[in-house]
Amino acid sequence: MAWVTGHQLRFFNSLGRRLEDFTPSTDVVGLYSCGPTVYSYQHLGNMRPYVFADTLRRALRWKGIPVRAVINITDVGHAIADSDTGEDKLEVAAAKERRSVEEIAEFYAEDWLEAMAALNVQPADVYPRASDYVDQMIEFAKQLEDKGYTYQLPSGLYFDTSKSPGYGTLAMMDIAGQREGTRVEVVEGRKNKSDFALWRAEEPGVRRVMRWNSPWGWGAPGWHLECSVMSMTLLGEHFDIHTGGIDHRELHHVNEIAQSEAYLEDGRPWVRYWLHNEFILLDAQKIAKSAGHTLRLADLVESGYHPMAYRLFLLGGHYRSQLDFTTAAMDAVQKTLRRLIARIVPLRPLPHVETLTDALALLRHPGTADATAGGTVTREATEDKAALAYLDAIDAAIANDLATPKLLATLQDALGDADITTEGLKVVVAAADALLGLRLGDLGLSEVDQRRTAEDLDSEQVAAIERLIAERTQARKEKNWSRADQIRAELDALGVQVTDTPTGPTWQLR
Ligand SMILES: [Zn+2]
């Protein structure tokens, strides 16, 4: 009977690219998610990995599986363009903004944490900062060196990927071609193109701001090293789940696995399940920070969308599908959120539900109305069959590789069902929200409705909008239509409606 523990939890494991039953290997499941590099504002697209990881966490909690969640904050070592050489992203930003590296890191980390809270992402148990773990990283690299996995060049200490028999399995690299991989950057003396830096030595005559002494001279750790070291330190040498954006599947996670399995040398896979989320597309382009203007969650809020509407937008697509970010889509989810909340307000307060067990207990012993008075099942308990069926559908959806679109559809069905009891419906809504995290129990309608007008904008925001409009006018003059379209999309996302008139463009907020 599926009802005792519910449906078997199944995830799509990038390692092997197949759906697999999830079984915890420890009492507390270790969950590591690659976190932000805090040298600038985080783009909207960069919110998806954390809403996805949060959904995963909620699914595990739903099944009564305790989790320890770690999200790192990269405040050192991430070289520009994700390469192994060149300047550090943090140092570049600090120089540009004339602030110290620490100020930059703290400012943008704080901004990201605020966005996480606005999106109702549960806080991680630990947010390790890479800069706090450099000693351990040096020690880790030393051990790899002792075991013969590395070689030294003037530019640093490199991991020799030809010594790693399973190199590239996660990315399904073809074994013959893998070491001549596409991420080509020229590093003098490197044995294989896929070899990566464990330690990035200072170039002669260039003194880094963030620098540490090491057996390989002054410098900074390579970017991949931090995740292996911090995850093992905080979750144990082996742990169950590692998540990240799909771009990490091709390089960052490949390198994490290579160095970790070389370090452990125990013949076991370092991490059992690798889960990756797809990208958000803006005008069919991956939303990436390198694409120029950073579209932020704060921008959406400025334009009158509630952060929960963005969460709803994300959950409306399966995490392994690409999602098209458009104003029309945001308008639609904002409306849906409003309708949901308006429908649910009369049901409040919702009962407290975190797990399937909680929800079942509520349906079987519905509080004041004793369902089995005198040993006979009462009418009420019989009617809860509808609620039980919805609960089963919710459980089936989340267990099936976090099928949040199906879960949302089930919630809508339950809300529109005339045959479900009010008490049963309350439990179903609370159960759905334990997994969706849309704040269905407390989000106020007035909060959802908050829309700003141009009068609410400060002079800086107005200036930013007008700068974009001027840029668009210029792009059109130059017949650079793709740039003009891109700016139009950005303005659109800010809730700005531009009207072209004979005397030039005018604008208003939608
Ligand atoms: Zn990582």
Q: What is the pLDDT of residues 222-235, one digit of tens each?
A: 989 999 999 999 99
Q: Average of pLDDT values for 123-145?
A: 97
- Within 8 A by CB and 6+ apart from 232, the residues are 260
Ligand 1 geometric centre to CA of 105 (Å): 17
So what's the pLDDT on residue 382? 54
Ligand 1 geometric centre to CA of 20 (Å): 23
The answer to whether 51 touches 262, Cβ cutoff 8 Å, is: no
Ligand 1 geometric centre to CA of 213 (Å): 23
The answer to whether 199 touches 219, Cβ cutoff 8 Å, is: yes
Ligand 1 geometric centre to CA of 438 (Å): 27
Ligand 1 geometric centre to CA of 227 (Å): 5
Q: Average of pLDDT values for 409-435?
A: 97
Range picked from 84-88, 139-143, 194-198 for highest mean pLDDT: 139-143
pLDDT one-digit tens code per residue, 225-283: 999 999 999 999 999 999 999 999 999 999 999 999 999 999 999 999 999 999 998 76
CA distances from 408 to 338, 357, 402 (A): 14, 20, 11
Ligand 1 geometric centre to CA of 301 (Å): 29
CA–CA dist 56, 30 (Å, integer): 12
Ligand 1 geometric centre to CA of 455 (Å): 42
Residue 404 above 90 pLDDT? Answer: yes
Ligand 1 geometric centre to CA of 423 (Å): 44
> Considering the chain, what is the average pLDDT of its residues?
87
Ligand 1 geometric centre to CA of 224 (Å): 6
Ligand 1 geometric centre to CA of 9 (Å): 25
Ligand 1 geometric centre to CA of 325 (Å): 25
Q: Average of pLDDT values for 12-17?
A: 96
Q: What percent of the chain has pLDDT over 90?
A: 61
| Residue in this structure with the two tokens 């890479």, named with its chain if needed | 130
Ligand 1 geometric centre to CA of 315 (Å): 23
Ligand 1 geometric centre to CA of 430 (Å): 33
Ligand 1 geometric centre to CA of 419 (Å): 48
How big is the CA angle at 404 (ends 403 and 410), to the nearest 5 degrees?
Answer: 100
Q: Which residue has the higher pLDDT, 284 or 221?
A: 221
Ligand 1 geometric centre to CA of 251 (Å): 10
Ligand 1 geometric centre to CA of 243 (Å): 9
Residue 180 above 60 pLDDT? Answer: no
* 485 sits in which H/E element: helix 481-493
| Residue in this structure with the two tokens 């949901």, named with its chain if needed | 340
Phi, psi of 169 (to 5 degrees): -55, -45
So what's the pLDDT on residue 479? 81
505, β-bridge pairs: 500
pLDDT tier for residue 451 given thresholds of 50, 70 and 90: low
Q: Which residue has the higher pLDDT, 140 or 382?
A: 140
Report the predicted TM-score, pTM, of the whole model to 2 decimal places: 0.84
200, β-bridge pairs: 156, 220
Residue 187 above 80 pLDDT? Answer: no
Q: What percent of the chain has pLDDT over 70?
A: 88
CA–CA dist 208, 134 (Å, integer): 15
Ligand 1 geometric centre to CA of 34 (Å): 4
Ligand 1 geometric centre to CA of 473 (Å): 41
Ligand 1 geometric centre to CA of 130 (Å): 10
DSSP 8-state class, residue 456: G
Ligand 1 geometric centre to CA of 256 (Å): 7
Ligand 1 geometric centre to CA of 33 (Å): 7
Ligand 1 geometric centre to CA of 253 (Å): 7
Ligand 1 geometric centre to CA of 35 (Å): 7
So what's the pLDDT on residue 380? 52
So what's the pLDDT on residue 267? 93
So what's the pLDDT on residue 452? 61
Structure tokens at 283: 């005008």
So what's the pLDDT on residue 174? 63
So what's the pLDDT on residue 1? 38
So what's the pLDDT on residue 303? 85
Structure tokens at 35: 């976190």
Ligand 1 geometric centre to CA of 281 (Å): 22
pLDDT one-digit tens code per residue, 88-122: 777 788 778 777 888 888 899 999 999 999 999 99
So what's the pLDDT on residue 152? 96
pLDDT tier for residue 368 given thresholds of 50, 70 and 90: very low
Ligand 1 geometric centre to CA of 94 (Å): 22
Ligand 1 geometric centre to CA of 137 (Å): 14
